[in-house]
Amino acid sequence: MRVIVHVDLDCFYAQVEQRRLGLDGDVDAVAVQQWSNLIAVNYVARRHGVKRGMPAHEAQKLCPGLRCVHVETIGEGGVVVEDPTPPAPGATRDPMVKASLRRYRGASREVFAALAAHCDLVERASIDEAFLDVTAQSAALLKEAQAAAAAAGRSAGHGDGVGEVHSNDGREEEGTGGHEDGAGVAGASGDAPDPDGEGVAAGQQQHQCKPKDYRRELDFRTQRHSQVVDAEHDATATELSQSQEAAAAAAPELTESARLLLAGGVVVDRIRRAVREATGFTVSAGIAANRVVAKLASARNKPNKQTIVPLSLQSAMMRSIPFREVRGFGGKYGSALEAALSAKDGDGGGADVVTRRVRNGWHDPKAADDAPPLTCGDLLDVFGGTDGTKRFAQRCSIPLDAATAVMRSVAGEGMDEVKPNLKPKSLSACKSAYLGDAAMVRRCMAVLAEELVERMAEDELLWRRRATTLVVHHRGALKKDHLSKWKAGKTSELTRDRNRQCRMPLGAEATVEASNSQGETARKTVRVPTPGQIVETAEGMLRKLASSGGLPVLPCTRIALCATDLQDLETGSASLTSFFQAQPKGSVNSSGGGTSLRSPQRKRPKRKRGTLEGFFGGAAKKPAPTTEVVGEAHTTIEDAKAEIPRAEGEGQGAGPLAGSFGAAVTEEPAPAPASPQRNEMWGGDEETDIRSAEREGDGVGDGHGEEVEEGQGQDNVIAPSELEDKDRQGQGVYVLVVEDEPPDPVVDSTDAEVEPEPEAAGAPAQAPAEATATTSLDGGMKACPRCGQEMPAEELPEHEDWHVAMDLQERFHPGSSGSARRAPGGLSGIQPRQWSKQRAPQSKIQSFFKR
C-alpha cells in the first residue's frame, strides 16, 4: 500500500494577500477580488456568508468589515498596477487592462519549493494543490518508532493511544468515542450494504435523516470515518504527533496499513509545518491509500487540518460521499450520469436508485430540488459487481470500460501513481473583453504578449525550457446585425471558442542580469520572442481562423495567448537534439544558432542601460553585431519556412484555397470573398476587416516575425505601435542592469556558465562551464558562492540559476515573494532545496530546481 497525500492551500489567494498586507487571517475578513467578483474568500469572511463568485459589493453588505483586495493588473506598455482600485460596480472596464495572477504563481512556487524540500514525489495538481507520495518516509518513520518502542520494552497492550489521536478535535468527540479506533473493525462497516456507513454499531440501516438534514448528516458521518489532526503549532499538536507516532508503533490491533497511514499522518504534519514555516501559509491535507480518497479527505476538514482515512474506513467514507464530489464527476458528465441513474421509470436499477435516495432522506421524489445527493454508496449498492456495471453502462449509454472506471472511482480504488512534476505544462495569458475592431484586438494582444513573454523568460530561467508552440484562443461575439444575418439557433456558433496554433516565433536572445543587495551580480541568457513577434504571429492565427470555419473574428469577447510544448533545454543533448529537430530545418546550421542556446556566443552587449522596458519591451536600440548570429538563425528559419510545404494550411500558400473553403463552409449568410485573392477578413464584415499586408502574396503568413510592412493605406490597417518600432530593430540583445552594477568587463564568479565567451561562432562550445560542473559528478558537495549552501556539484549551475531567477523576480517585483520577511539578504523567500550530506542521488525530475 502507498501513502498518498493531497495537499491543499486554504483559500490560497486570500492567504497570499493576508501575508502581503500583514492581515491576520484569524481575525480579519479578507477576500480577493477580480473585477467585480470575489475569487477567494478567507474563513473569517466565510463565516459571514461571503462566498466565492459573489459580487464584491454584495459581500460588503454581508460583511461590512470585509477587506477586498483586487488582483494585480497589467495594462498597455506593460504597466503593472499592484494594488488597483477596484472598478465601481457597473463601471465599464478597460479592455486593455488585464488581471494578472502573477503574485499567486510566485507564492505557489514558494510552496512547492517547501514541499519539494521535504518530499521527493510531489506532483503539481494546480496552483495550490499537490499530490505527494510519502510511502517511503512513512515506512521509515514507522520502523523507527517500532524499534524505539521495542527498545523501551513497551509492550503494546493498550489501544488508547489511538483514542488520543483523534481526541484532539473537539468536534470529534462523538466520532472518536466508539468503535472508530478499531481500524480493524472496519471490515464490518466496509462490507455492510449500508449507505450510512455506520458500520458495526447496531444495524443502523434505517438511520433516518430529517429532510434537508442529509447534507449535515453526511458531513458528520464523514468525519467519523476519518481522523482529524489539527496542525496548530502548539504543544497540543506536538503531543498529538508524538502520541500518534506512538500509537502507530504500539497499537497492536492496528493493521500494518493503518500503522503506516498513521505514520504518514506524522510525516504530513511535519511537512505542513515546514510549509508554514517557509511561507506562512496554512495547508490542509488528506492522507489515504490513493489519490481519489486523499483528495476527498483533504476537503473534509479545513482550514489547517489534515484528515487520515485508514484503509479500513475508506470504503465507508467513499460510500457516504455524494458522487458528484468525486473528481471528474462534478460537471456535465456527472449530472448526466446522475440523471440517467435516477430516472425512476427506468429498469436495470433506476427504481433502486430512487429507493436509496429516499432512504437518504428524500421524502418527495417529485421535488427534484429536494433531492439528496446520490452517494457513491448508492451507486455501489445498485450497480456493484460485474453485472451491475453492465447494467450501469447500458443505462447510461456509455462503454463498459467507462462504466468500470466510474465504479472504480466511486469505490475509491483509483490506483494512479503520483507523477513527480513541479512545473506547469503551459503558460497562458487571456483577457475577456468586448473587442470590436482589429485595432482593439491588436492592442489587447500586445498586452497579453507582454505578459506571456515575461513569463516565458521567467520560465526559462527557472526551468530551462522553452515553449515551441503558440496557441491563440478566440471567442466570438454577437453583433446586432448578426442577429439578423444568422439563424437564431446559430448564434451560439458565433460565441464559440476557437483556436489555432503554430510554432512559437524563435525570438532573440535576452541577457538578463540581476544583482542583489549585496552587489552580487549574475547573468543568464534566455531566448524569448518579442511581444511584437507574438502579436504578429497571433494575428496570423486570427486570419487563419477568419479564413476557415466561416465565422467572423470580429467582434470578439475573449483572446488568449498560450505558450505550450515546453521543451527542456537539456545539456544531455537528447532533448536538446529533439528541440532542434523540432525547429524548422536550417536552424541547426553552422550559424551557431544551436549552440547559442546553451553557450551563447555573444560579445558584451552594447546596452541601453537600465530600464525594465529594455528587457521585456523589446530590443536594444542598436543590435550588436554578434547578435546577428541570432538574426541569422531567425532569418534562416524564415527561409526554411519558405521551403516547407504549407502544412499549416491557410496561412500562406493555401490562402486562396482556404478562402474558397471558408466560403463554402460558411452557411447561408456569409458573404463570398470579395476577390479571388486571399481575403481573410477578421470580421467577415467589410467594415471591420483587417487586411494588413495582404497585398503581397505572402502577407498573411503565420507570423514568425516577418518584417511586414505596415500601413498599406487600407482604411483599417493599424498604425504601427511603439512596440513594433522596437521589434523592428529585431534581434538585439537586451539587458537588464541594476543601478549599482559594476562596469561591463566585470566577470562574476557566479557567471561562469555564460561567461566564457568563445568568440568563434559555431564552435562546438559544449558549454565549458557546464562541463566543469558536470565533470565533478562524483565530486561530492560544493558550496554555492552566492549563499554558501552546500550541494552536490552537479546541482550547482541549477542552483545559481535559481539565484538569478530570484534576483530577477525581486528586481521586477520588489517584495513580491515576501522576501523582506524571511530573507533579509534581499533574495526571495523561495529557498532552494536543502541538501543533506547523506542525500541519496535523486532522479532529475524529482529535484525541484532541476528544471
Partner DNA sequence: ATTTTGACGCT
Partner DNA sequence: AGCGTCAAA
Give contact residues for DNA (rule: CB under 7 A): 8-9, 11-14, 32, 34-37, 39-40, 52-53, 87, 90-93, 98-101, 104-105, 124, 126-129, 327-334, 424-432, 451, 469, 496-501, 544, 549, 558, 560, 649
Cα separation values, 93 from 8, 84, 479, Å = 33, 12, 19
Q: What are the φ and ψ backbone dihedral angles of 433, each rounded to 5 degrees?
A: -170, 155
The minimum distance between CB 605 and DNA, in angstroms, equals: 30
- Whose Cβ is closer to DNA: residue 107's or residue 823's? 107
- Whose Cβ is closer to DNA: residue 12's or residue 734's? 12
**Reading across the β-sheet that carries 465-476, which strands appear in turn?**
427-435, 556-568, 465-476, 497-503
- Whose Cβ is closer to DNA: residue 32's or residue 115's? 32
- Whose Cβ is closer to DNA: residue 49's or residue 211's? 49
At CA 734, angle to CA 729 and CA 737, rounded to 5? 145
- Whose Cβ is closer to DNA: residue 329's or residue 734's? 329
The minimum distance between CB 432 and DNA, in angstroms, equals: 3
H-only helix segments in 152-308? 160-166, 173-177, 186-191, 214-224, 235-250, 256-279, 291-298
CA distance linking residue 471 with residue 457, whole number of Å: 17
The minimum distance between CB 474 and DNA, in angstroms, equals: 8
Tally the residues of the chain. 851
- Whose Cβ is closer to DNA: residue 98's or residue 822's? 98
Spatial CA neighbour of 200 closest among 187, 214, 218, 209: 187
H-only helix segments in 583-627? 595-598, 612
CA dihedral 276, 277, 278, 283 (to 10 degrees): -10
User: What 3 state SS string does 521-534 have?
Assistant: EEEEEEEECCHHHH
- Whose Cβ is closer to DNA: residue 33's or residue 314's? 33
Q: What sign has the CA pseudo-torsion 231, 237, 238, 244?
A: negative
Q: What three-state secondary structure class fits 303?
A: coil
CA distance linking residue 161 with residue 258, whole number of Å: 13
- Whose Cβ is closer to DNA: residue 400's or residue 783's? 400
H-only helix segments in 666-767? 722-728
The residues with which 368 forms a beta bridge, in sequence order, are none
CA distance linking residue 273 with residue 287, whole number of Å: 15
The minimum distance between CB 565 and DNA, in angstroms, equals: 8
- Whose Cβ is closer to DNA: residue 137's or residue 652's? 652
CA distance linking residue 577 with residue 794, whole number of Å: 21
H/E stretch holding 81 reads strand 79-81
The minimum distance between CB 825 and DNA, in angstroms, equals: 28
Spatial CA neighbour of 127 closest among 102, 155, 153: 102
- Whose Cβ is closer to DNA: residue 251's or residue 563's? 563
Contact 122, 841 (CB under 8 A): no
- Whose Cβ is closer to DNA: residue 251's or residue 285's? 285
Site of grid cell 453485472:
387
The minimum distance between CB 668 and DNA, in angstroms, equals: 20
- Whose Cβ is closer to DNA: residue 113's or residue 429's? 429
At CA 122, angle to CA 120 and CA 124, rounded to 5? 155
CA distance linking residue 455 with residue 692, whole number of Å: 29
The minimum distance between CB 847 and DNA, in angstroms, equals: 18
The minimum distance between CB 108 and DNA, in angstroms, equals: 9
The minimum distance between CB 335 and DNA, in angstroms, equals: 8
Cα separation values, 281 from 304, 538, 748, Å = 9, 38, 36
The minimum distance between CB 448 and DNA, in angstroms, equals: 7
CA distance linking residue 743 with residue 375, whole number of Å: 69
What are the cell numbers at 292?
481519489
Cis peptide before 555 (omega within 30 of 0): yes
The minimum distance between CB 746 and DNA, in angstroms, equals: 36
Contact 97, 34 (CB under 8 A): no
The minimum distance between CB 278 and DNA, in angstroms, equals: 19
H-only helix segments in 789-828? 796-812, 819-822
Site of grid cell 520572442:
529
| Count of helices and strands (H, E) across the chain | 31, 21
Cis peptide before 529 (omega within 30 of 0): no
CA distance linking residue 122 with residue 133, whole number of Å: 7
Cα radius of gyration rounded to whole Å, the chain = 30
What are the cell numbers at 93?
472596464
Q: What are the φ and ψ backbone dihedral angles of 43, each rounded to 5 degrees?
A: -75, -30
The minimum distance between CB 385 and DNA, in angstroms, equals: 23
The minimum distance between CB 97 and DNA, in angstroms, equals: 8
- Whose Cβ is closer to DNA: residue 86's or residue 184's? 86
- Whose Cβ is closer to DNA: residue 454's or residue 798's? 454
The minimum distance between CB 130 and DNA, in angstroms, equals: 12
- Whose Cβ is closer to DNA: residue 204's or residue 491's? 491
Contact 624, 732 (CB under 8 A): yes
The minimum distance between CB 561 and DNA, in angstroms, equals: 9
The minimum distance between CB 416 and DNA, in angstroms, equals: 9
The minimum distance between CB 72 and DNA, in angstroms, equals: 10
Cα separation values, 783 from 118, 462, 750, 787, 788, Å = 21, 20, 12, 8, 5
The residues with which 195 forms a beta bridge, in sequence order, are none
- Whose Cβ is closer to DNA: residue 253's or residue 325's? 325
CA distance linking residue 482 with residue 504, whole number of Å: 34
What are the cell numbers at 769?
562551464
